[in-house]
Chains A and B, each alone.
Chain A
Amino acid sequence: MPSIKDYNRKIASLKNTSKITKTMKMVSASKLRKAQESQRKAKDFAHEVNQLIHRIGGHVESGMHPLLEVREEVKRVLLVVFTSDKGLCGGFNNNLIRYLENYLEERKDDGIEYELAFIGRRGYHHFSSRATVFKFFDDIPSATPHARDATRIRIRLEQAFLEEGFDQVKVICNEFLSPLSQTPKLHHLLPLEPPDLPDEPLEHAAPAEDILAEPEMSTLLEFLVPRLVTFKLFYSLVENAAGEHGARMTAMDNATTNALKLIDENTLLRNRARQAAITTELIEIISGAEAL
């Protein structure tokens, strides 16, 4: 049986753990607020971008821009995986990894070659020895998204799609539903299918013919399409970051609750052990006295 000293040591260490998890929770909560704010703002922007796409949608055909071209035969697919750099955030990364593993397992016999690109260290570490890694963007921090990072990823992916023989590029990232819940989701990136940014129904759509384009539509598309891809990537980055902080906050909250529960349990056991020791001593004294 553990002694009182053992219990004391355990309780002290549990107290330290709960202090750490509590602090981490508070740090995540404040980071989450910021990330959520930028996610919300990006969503407003996404709404406007979608409206714009719908309006010019009538003018756009698959052949008008290389990034819009749908390939007849799909042989190689690039999956861009968004995870966090750091752990201690519950099932945030594991859910996504499991989702991706199932996805790959189901499509094992399709004859399509899948390669993976990573943003966030966690996903890369898991898959680096298990799947074909195309690229790991190791210098892009997952917790602090930046529009410039999205541009860099876009340029690299564009190159993969146009020059390195990939027929499709898809994105797997945790969709941010609320701080408590994130679900892994897969969406198409290239070739670009415009209307799938998260959005509400369209407001007032003007007939497409009435709109002037400056410069003319084909030049405008050349300018718009890469921007749209960049923005989609940025949105994924923002969602990923908000999800990471949310998941960490929840995980640390649970950890704190568990630690406090363990402290209570151990305090009870310690008191019981102390009581047992006192009783034993008393019995020893009494039986000693009786023997005399």
Chain B
Amino acid sequence: MSSFPLRILTTEGPVLDAEVESIVVTAYNGSMGVLAGHAPMISAVVSGPGKVTKDGTTQWYVFGEGTLEVRKPDVVLLVDFAEEADSSEAAKARALDEEDLHS
């Protein structure tokens, strides 16, 4: 599967800088995925679970608010925070916790 360079940056430093096959984030209008060769795009990201597939393995994350920018050829995710999670359930639970904290 073709891959593309992805960078995940938070205000507290870079979290990921690697060649990946896909990224899924919780966008403004719901979950959204990006694969290699996507058209240039800027999207608002809301706090929620997401995942990154790298070398065939999927890593779950919890992302904070931010933006996802697809350029050619790289993709940059700028968010408040990005934490690794063990599973989709763990990521969802963690995202809910964060929501409680903010409200």
Contact = CB atoms under 8 A, between A and B. Distances in A.
A211 B43 CA distance: 10
A219 B10 CA distance: 23
Contacts of B9: 44-45, 48
Nearest to A206: B40
A38 B14 CA distance: 11
A41 B81 CA distance: 13
A212 B42 contact: yes
Contacts, number: 70
How large, as a class, is the contact surface on chain A? Answer: 20 to 34
Given A49-B78, A214-B42, A223-B44, A206 B13 contact: no
Interface in B24-51: 27-29, 32, 39-44
Main SS of the interface on chain A? helix
Interface in A32-90: 38, 41-42, 44-45, 48-49, 52, 55-56
Contacts of A211: 40-42
B34 to A, nearest CB: 11
Contacts of B90: none
B27 A52 contact: no
Main SS of the interface on chain B? strand
B12 A214 contact: no
Nearest to B12: A41
Contact of A41 (B13, B41, B43, B76): B13
A224 B44 contact: yes
A212 B40 contact: yes
B71 A206 contact: yes
A231 B65 CA distance: 12
A223 B67 CA distance: 9
Interface of A: 38, 41-42, 44-45, 48-49, 52, 55-56, 147, 204, 206, 210-215, 219-220, 223-224, 227, 231, 234
